[in-house]
Copies of this chain bind each other. A is one copy, B any other.
């Protein structure tokens, strides 16, 4: 596109700032322009490995003057092509900004640089009896998780990134550094820039530091796996659990095909049936109460044998198996392409949405293992296909269209947690209607030259 090449005239200045932390090597550019999924690679023209917010600010200033696109990069684990450099430009790799700036145990908050991963943060918190619950499948960076408004298995109890970001430092399109909010637990002082930058996918500013809310590690934690004879019984168990108000920490649905893949990948021997993975947090007494209440509901829907895990290592093994679901699909179908999609609906519409989708999978005859954060009404499919086969691509595309339209018709959203990126962008007009004009207005106001991750979420031309 027209801005490819603009970077040439600022390369010497970029190199002055970064030295050998600026790379134009093909392998590096490929790594930063290729996603885990089926989306076509789109390479940045150079990659900057940055160390500080001030450095990011200097780079963005140069790019702003020279009309060079700037794309923020964390761990490269996003699923909708968020970091693909559609117009080339400079990729800013924040993985070197991996310092934990401060931990205030007494205020239950920590401030981290954007490159710190969720596992690194939890490692640092462990001896203080604290944890950070948000857990997308990958060991993603907290900057990336903030930018995509990530959630994960714990969101049903602890919320998403939206609920757990207390303050941010960001570099704006002209290089200006801003700090949104404070360490106070709440504020009514002006527009919520915090929430606006969370989930903006690097299109409004580059997040370099985040103050996150923390939680005390519960006195007791207990995980369980239970199987059902059919998907409907499993989903109805979830809906009932949420409706009676059992404060489950995790409640995850895995379908028979995905169970089979998990068993293979992680060398486990679970039944290849519709399955729920659960976890309860609380006092010893409360965890027992919750488990008993849940057991009654599950039994009412025909689930009998539970496999419990209370020891930390057994729980970790169980959740590792669940988190590796996407990798398990990749391992089983070498040479295939993978389209990861997710939608989210009100819990009262979940049974209908899952069953209709399941029917669609069967009728279309595609391979599409299902997992879901079903306590939030959110589920994922990994669509396995061959992107060289135009018929296959067409079939998968129209399946995904029907999935999103179904979710929207059931008062839901086109993406519960993966974000818009490239993959969900075409659904934005249908989902938001005239509200999309105001998203465009914000983008135009914050980044009139459209240098920040161009081509994602909204375009600047009128639609």
Contacts and interface: CB of A to CB of B under 8 A. Distances in A.
Interface string A107-125: 1110000000000000000
Given A195-B195, A286-B286, A344 B187 contact: yes
Residue from the set A183, A187, A244, A446 with the largest chain B CB neighbour count within 10 Å: A187
A413 B187 contact: yes
A102 B245 CA distance: 20
Interface in A353-393: 376-378
A346 B285 contact: no
Interface string A430-457: 0111111111011111100000000001
A78 to B, nearest CB: 10
Given A106-B347, A348-B107, A435-B180, A185 B414 contact: no
A416 interface: yes
A27 interface: no
A428 interface: yes
A345 interface: yes
Stoichiometry, copies per complex: 2
B419 A188 contact: yes
Nearest to A170: B435
A177 interface: yes
A188 B415 contact: yes
Contacts of A345: 184
Given A107-B347, A109-B346, A434-B177, A188 B441 contact: no
Interface string A179-200: 1111111111111111110111
A414 B347 CA distance: 38
A95 interface: no
Interface in A401-442: 407-408, 411-420, 424, 427-428, 431-439, 441-442
A407 B187 CA distance: 12
B285 A182 contact: no
A186 B286 CA distance: 27
Interface stretch (A29-37, A147-155, A259-267, A331-339): A147-155
Nearest to A200: B191
A196 B441 CA distance: 13
Contacts of A187: 149, 344, 413, 415-416
B435 A189 contact: no
A442 B445 contact: yes
Contact of A188 (B105, B163, B193, B418): B418
A455 B439 CA distance: 24
A412 B189 CA distance: 11
A428 B189 contact: yes
Given A188-B415, A192-B199, 8 more contacts: A107-B347, A149-B188, A184-B345, A187-B344, A188-B413, A189-B413, A190-B439, A192-B195
Interface of A: 104-109, 148-151, 155, 159-160, 162-163, 172, 176-196, 198-200, 204, 216, 239, 243-245, 283, 285-286, 289, 344-348, 376-378, 407-408, 411-420, 424, 427-428, 431-439, 441-446, 457-458
22 contacts: A105-B243, A106-B347, A109-B346, A148-B188, A176-B434, A178-B433, A178-B435, A178-B438, A182-B408, A184-B407, A184-B411, A186-B378, A186-B413, A187-B415, A189-B419, A189-B420, A191-B200, A191-B439, A192-B199, A193-B438, A195-B195, A196-B196
